Amino acid sequence: MAYSMTGFGKAACEHNGAEVSVEVSAVNHRFLDCSIRLPYSWSALEPVVRETLKKHLARGKISVNVSRKWNGGSSQMVQLDRELAKQYIAASEELGLMLGTYEKISADTLAQLDGVFFQSDPDEELEQTKAMITGVLVEALERLQECRAVEGATLIKEIAEQVGLIRDSLNRIEERLPGLNEQHMTRLRERITELAGDVSIAEERIAVEVAILADKGDVTEEVVRLKSHLARMDELLESAEPIGRETNFLAQEIQREMNTLGVKVRDTDVVREVLSMKSELEKIREQIQNIE
């Protein structure tokens, strides 16, 4: 099953008197690009989170947000930074001397200054925290994958239908090939007769002209390659592995064969079928941009 590259997953657990929540969101991207936000005291665990993501995801722009909300019985402690408070007081007194006043900074004002009071986390066993975050992250990733699988299944179904429409057009073109080949051979014989009647043209030149004309009108190889590419696309759509990159490359090859087919054959009905195939292929190319 192919996965869409967009989705969202969330999981949470209780840990040391706090609710820990992990949210993972994903959007399409050519490579695996991870953005991770952790509580400051857990920042050392970012490599662990990143490695876990690499094990579960192949590509996409991934955002991970790990948050912690303390319960009513929070074990966080409010502490006073005495040295910083002293510096604020000294600076305030110096400012007062400069202004010729003797007002002192009040406790209320001092308490509101940045860094005077701060919260410290309780001592934690890093390995225990690592195991907890990894477990919740994996659960969030599983929910993300469920979301991506649902959207991926929809995309695969739509692409398969469009591949079927391209194959139908190609079959109609193939049905016309015998008649087109006969017309081409008639024109080729006429051209040979015309060249042979001109005594000023060397036989080597005639041979070159015949070879060029023969190649211009024969689209058998293009039809065969297109059928092969479509068969490969069917295989990829049923694969359990990430298929985004290969389907994108395959779409380019299909486009190349369609272009050649449209140039070589000037039959109105064939041109109409080629345009229809190109229209369906463009839809496919848009959709596979969102497949992992």
Could you report the per-residue pLDDT of 184-234, keeping only the tens digit for each?
Answer: 666 666 766 766 665 555 556 545 555 555 555 577 888 899 999 999 999
Residue 37: strand pairing partners: 65
**pLDDT value at residue 134:** 95
Could you give the domains of the chain?
7-74+124-149 (3.30.230), 77-119 (no CATH), 151-288 (no CATH)
Q: Which helix (H) or strand (E) holds 186?
A: helix 126-196
Q: What is the pLDDT of residue 239?
A: 87
Please give the pLDDT value at position 271. Answer: 87
Is 237 in contact with 243 (CB distance < 8 Å)?
yes
- In which element (H, E) is residue 276 found? helix 268-288
This prediction's pTM? 0.65
Q: CB–CB of 243/4 below 8 Å?
A: no
Answer for the pair 52, 131: CB distance below 8 angstroms, yes or no: no
Q: What is the pLDDT of residues 147-163, one digit of tens each?
A: 999 999 999 999 999 99
**Residue ranges in the chain whose pLDDT is less than 50:** 206
Q: What is the structure's pLDDT at 43? A: 86
